[in-house]
Amino acid sequence: MAINWFKYSAPTMFYPLAGKLIPWFAVSSAILFAVGMYLGFVVAPADATQGEFYRIIYIHVPASILSMFLYLVMAAYAALGLIFNTRLSSMMASALAPTGALFAFIALWTGALWGKPMWGTWWVWDARLTSELILLFLYLGFISLHASIDDPRRADRAAALLAIVGSVNVPIIYFSVKWWNTLHQGSTIKFSGTSMQITMQHAMFTMLAACWLYAVAVVLSRVRSIILERERHAKWVAELPEVAL
Amino acid sequence: MNKILLLLVMVVRRDLLLAMRRRADVLTTLIFFVMVVSLFPLGVGPETDMLRRMAPGVLWVSALLASMLSLGRLFSADHLDGTLEQMLLAPQSLSVLVLGKMIAHWVVSGLPLVLMTPVLGLQFDMSLKAVGVLMLSLLLGTPILSMVGAIGAALTLGLRGGGVLLSLLVLPLCIPVLIFGTGAVGAATSGLDFSSHLSLLGALLVLAAAFTPWVAAQALRISME
């Protein structure tokens, strides 16, 4: 049986689908958060050099991975919306931005908390920290450009163009900052094996999955609000049980 | 090919002529640049050793801010009197028109800063060689600021609080230029090879020249529809 995926590119069809999916993502995220926290804080051993302090990676690393990943997803949705003129893609892009910014902020915040005991300072002008900060600026630029244009279609298209320019610029910024200064420890998880203990790895991946599911759940519920707001004059919105009351 | 070149020359000439008729606008950018640079010694103290080390960064950041200041005017005057709409409707390529406006903007607001640099460099007690490299890096880097800035200026055309928003959008994108620009001077003063930094700046300039006119033209179409 062929499924017509394009059916769900219409906000009318996507709204109820998102409503059905949210509880699944939310509940599995909560379960994985609980499991990941247990593995990370109770089961996993203390680190040989960093003691108990290292445990902040279980939130720090997933947050920074997602902050970068969500920017790409956001730019991809924005590009889809710009090229094919699909309203839902643009709505997804603007729903993703606040969550991405939140993860970038969490990554910086937990990084500062980790840096204090390990490097003896809250902040260093290191390549990765700086590029994460710039990523946060890019998110804020996207959000504020979108917010300051009244016409939603123009806002979508202008912000989409900015997101695409930004995503082209991200590697340039990353490498320029990297050559500028590097202090941050290198990646522990590489494709050619890892220097990490197996329980730590499990805890880390569980937390990553939990954060990812959380992001999906939150973005879907935000996109539902955006759909309602944009389509408030449409008949199908007025007929919704939660709107009609 | 000749027609495109002719179009480019005509747009540049027109914008330069307009700028010359309102010389105050050109001067404010330059005065702002000189003023911001002069504020730094007052803020951090007059020790020459420190000033000499800070000079490239101070001049580059000030140039960045000064070019943000003038970006708001890049399209707004043409937007207000309807010229921009005619440009969008014109059969000629909008990208070429935009490139012409970028070049004119750089000649008006980037080039004077480069020419002013030796005087300011002397104030900061920079060596002659460092001043030379700084000028070269600004010469390569400031056109990129005008080009990337034009995208932001096109996107924020006619918005409330466009000026601040413009800086918010454009400044993060200009960070590589700042890094390579100051890096070149840093390498030169510590006796290292500075050509790699300048090569990278040149590469960024070529990339920007190839893509930004088209992107800025698309941004203008989005803002004007």
Q: Does A169 touch chain B (CB under 8 A)?
A: yes
Give the C-alpha separation, B189 to B127, whole Å.
8
**B37: nearest Cα among B69, B60, B67:** B60
Model pLDDT, residue A122: 79
Residue A187 clears pLDDT 60, i.e. is over it: no
Whose structure tokens read 């390579």?
Answer: B180
Please list the ranges in chain B whose pLDDT falls under 50: none
Report the residue of B165, B173, B194 to disrupt the A interface, i.e. the one with the largest count of A CBs within 10 Å.
B173
- Which of A134, A145, A173 has the CB atom closest to B155's CB atom? A145
Model pLDDT, residue B37: 92
**What is the DSSP annotation of chain A?**
----GGGGGSHHHHHHHHHHHHHHHHHHHHHHHHHHHHIIIIISPPBTTTBTGGGGHHHHHHHHHHHHHHHHHHHHHHHHHHHH--HHHHHHHHHHHHHHHHHHHHHHHHHHHHHHHHHSSS----HHHHHHHHHHHHHHHHHHHHHH-SSHHHHHHHHHHHHHHHHHHHHHHHHHHHHH---SPPPSB-SS-BSS-HHHHHHHHHHHHHHHHHHHHHHHHHHHHHHHHHTTTSHHHHTSHHHH-
Q: Which contacts of A165-169 are long-range, i.e. CB under 8 A and separated by 24 or more positions?
A: A165/B151, A165/B173, A165/B215, A166/A71, A166/A75, A166/A138, A166/A141, A166/A142, A166/B172, A166/B173, A167/A71, A167/A72, A167/A75, A169/B173, A169/B176
Is B169 within 8 Å of A148 when comparing Cβ atoms? Answer: no
Residue A190 clears pLDDT 60, i.e. is over it: no
**A148 or A115: whose pLDDT is higher?**
A148
Is A154 within 8 Å of B215 when comparing Cβ atoms? Answer: no
Which of A125-139, A173-187, A207-221, B160-174 has the least mean pLDDT?
A173-187
Model pLDDT, residue A181: 62
∠ at Cα A144 (A141, A146), nearest 5°?
Answer: 105
- The C-alpha of B155 sits at a distance from chain A's nearest C-alpha, in angstroms, of 6
Give the C-alpha separation, A8 to A139, whole Å.
27
Residue A12 clears pLDDT 60, i.e. is over it: yes
Q: Which residues pair with A194 in a beta bridge?
A: A189
Report the residue of A149, A151, A168, A178 to disrupt the B interface, i.e. the one with the largest count of B CBs within 10 Å.
A149
ipTM: 0.85
* pLDDT tens string A63-82: 988 998 999 999 999 999 99
**B152: nearest Cα among B60, B73, B59, B57:** B73
* pLDDT tens string A114-127: 888 777 777 777 77
Which of A13-22, A162-171, A181-190, B4-13 has the least mean pLDDT?
A181-190
Model pLDDT, residue A3: 64
Q: Does B165 touch chain A (CB under 8 A)?
A: yes
Query: pTM of the full predicted structure?
Result: 0.86
Model pLDDT, residue A48: 64
**B60: nearest Cα among B128, B149, B121:** B121
pLDDT grade, residue A128 (50/70/90)? confident
Q: Which residues pair with B200 in a beta bridge?
A: none
Residues 6+ apart with CB under 8 A from B122: B131
Cβ-based contacts under 8 A for chains A and B: 63
Position A55, amino acid? R
Q: Does B171 touch chain A (CB under 8 A)?
A: yes
Average pLDDT over chain A, rounded to whole?
A: 83
Whose structure tokens read 């059916």?
Answer: A7
∠ at Cα A153 (A152, A154), nearest 5°?
Answer: 95
* pLDDT tens string A26-35: 999 999 988 8
Model pLDDT, residue A5: 66
Mean pLDDT to the nearest integer, A93-97: 93
Which chain B residue has its CA at the smallest distance from A135's CA? B172
- The C-alpha of A88 sits at a distance from chain B's nearest C-alpha, in angstroms, of 18
